[in-house]
Copies of this chain bind each other. A is one copy, B any other.
């Protein structure tokens, strides 16, 4: 076999990036679960690049609406929050855009404005300019093996397909690669959540992309999703995790590292049909955002970049007797807790080896060997040695549990191969040279380098 080095130098240099023009937007994908509600004034479009997976969720209103924002840091990514903070009394807002892709994903926000202009709905005339606001989550890093981000094409397709009454729950739209619980090494899969409440004429909808450093917590104080460390109890209260700090973060855990800022962020939206003054709408934003500290613990840390947008469609005015704006905000906070809980998807396959370890021949294993590239930034070298199969990351510090510069055994089981450990890692090889890690909603696909054989 030719020396590996030569082979590598023969192959083209890794492209620094994927050409996103080759990607196909998937719009309003039907999720496993969805929220249905009746509110014509509020339309939602979701766009996804499943190669990420990453995506965008666009909220479009039936007319210019009033908006407010509560930015709580630590490391937010925002477009046009200042305009809302400086508070004209007029309704100016067209859309709220929540997106993956970290700061790159902010392209989704500006894209919606230009779509509205190109479609003739908005123009350059001073009182008809498109105004979208938006914010992003960090969904790169260890959680996926590429740097695809939601872009103009995706966001424009999403806003143009926006429809009322339907919101996919779980790993969709901006929440496609969301995770939670990194502070404790939970690294649970997460997603987007939504809830709707109607009391009399009052409508309230809450939406959130839960991608927090903290864990999702239910109304009994239980942690809802976590890849638990060995020895952790089945029923895990958030308060127990916190009480273990910093001790619950055992050596070797893959969660936050001391300098690991900006790996999280939860972005949210609350909408009501009640007409509100700018001051009331700002209060709604503050109170609801604050209330989220119940469903996500801890919330709004320095390593999150949390942002909540609040919108009033002003369809109900005045409030019916007995209602005060504080009631709206309190009910909305409760709806937001529902939304947080609804964001949690079914966690993937157990990481345990399934069934008896399969017995594979050396030839079978050798046939799988080769260099598998996931994207310009991630590649895995599979090799056989002594009748066992090994993986080794080659151009980034780790492919999930498989580090660079070190071989890690892939244990065969009934459905493929597993790398045992705290986090699920399953590999399946297809006959066409495709390697899939963690088949399912968050799967990562690689192709074996064609020039490599055996």
Interface residues, chain A, CB within 8 Å of chain B?
16-17, 71-83, 86-90, 102-104, 106-107, 109-111, 113-114, 117-120, 123-127, 129-132, 138, 140-141, 147, 149, 151-152, 183, 199, 213-214, 219-221, 237, 239, 242-243, 245-246, 249, 256, 258-263, 277-280, 282-283, 286-287, 289-294, 297-303, 305, 307, 322-327, 329-331, 333-334, 337, 377
Most buried by B among A82, A83, A220, A263: A82
Contact A324 B71 (CB under 8 A): no
User: Which B residues lie within 8 Å of A282 (CB)?
Assistant: 86-87
Task: Please pick, from B86, B129, B246, B323, the residue contacting A74 in the complex, using a CB distance under 8 A.
Answer: B86
Q: List residues of chain B with CB within 8 A of the CB of A327.
A: 245-246
Structural contact, B278 and A302, CB atoms closer than 8 A: no
Chain B: CB-nearest residue to A242: B334
Q: Which of B80, B118, B290 contacts A293 (CB 8 A)?
A: B290
Bound CA span A261–B129, Å: 11
Name 18 A/B residue pairs within 8 A (Cβ), A-sorted. A72-B290, A73-B86, A74-B88, A77-B80, A81-B82, A87-B278, A103-B110, A103-B132, A110-B110, A114-B149, A126-B263, A214-B330, A242-B333, A246-B323, A256-B326, A280-B302, A301-B329, A302-B325
A16 and B246 form a contact (CB under 8 A)? no
Distance in angstroms between the alpha carbons of A364 and B369 in the assembled complex: 82
Nearest Cβ on chain B to A381's Cβ, whole angstroms: 21
A196 to chain B, nearest CB (A): 14
B237 touches A219 (CB 8 A): yes
A71 to B82, Cβ gap below 8 A?
A: yes
A78 touches B75 (CB 8 A): no
Contact (Cβ within 8 A) A103 B77: no
Closest residue of chain B to A258 (Cβ to Cβ) is B324
Min CB distance, A84 to chain B, in Å?
10
Taking A126-B262, A331-B242 as contacts, is the C-beta distance between A305 and B87 under 8 angstroms?
Answer: no
Query: Is the Cβ of A302 less than 8 Å from the Cβ of B283?
Result: yes
Q: Are B83 and A76 in contact (CB under 8 A)?
A: yes
Could you say which residues of chain B place their CB within 8 Å of the CB of A258? Answer: 324
Q: Which of A290, A300, A303 neighbours the largest number of chain B CB atoms within 10 Å of its CB?
A: A290
Given A80-B78, A80-B103, A107-B152, check contact A147 B283 (CB 8 Å).
Answer: no
A80 engages B102 (CB within 8 Å): no
| B239, B292, B300, B307: the one within 8 Å of A219 (CB) | B239
A287 interface neighbour in B16, B149, B302, Cβ under 8 Å:
B302
- Say yes or no: B123 contacts A147, CB within 8 Å: yes
Is the Cβ of A330 less than 8 Å from the Cβ of B298? yes
CB distance from A358 to the nearest CB of B (A): 35
Most chain B CB within a 10 A radius of its CB, from A80, A242, A279: A279
The reply to whether B302 and A330 form a contact with Cβ atoms under 8 Å apart is no
Complex formed: what's the CA distance from A119 to B293 in Å? 39
Measured in the bound complex, the distance between the Cα atoms of B123 and A141 in whole Å is 10
Cβ contact within 8 Å between B87 and A279: yes
How many Å lie between the Cα of A334 and that of B107 in the bound state?
36
| A319 CB, nearest partner CB in chain B, Å | 9
Which residues of B lie under 8 Å from residue A237 when comparing CB positions? Answer: 219
Docked-complex contact B322 and A246, CB < 8 angstroms: yes
The complex places the Cα of A214 from the Cα of B333 at a distance, in Å, of 13
Q: Kindly provide the distance from the CB of A61 to the nearest chain B CB, expressed in whole angstroms.
A: 16
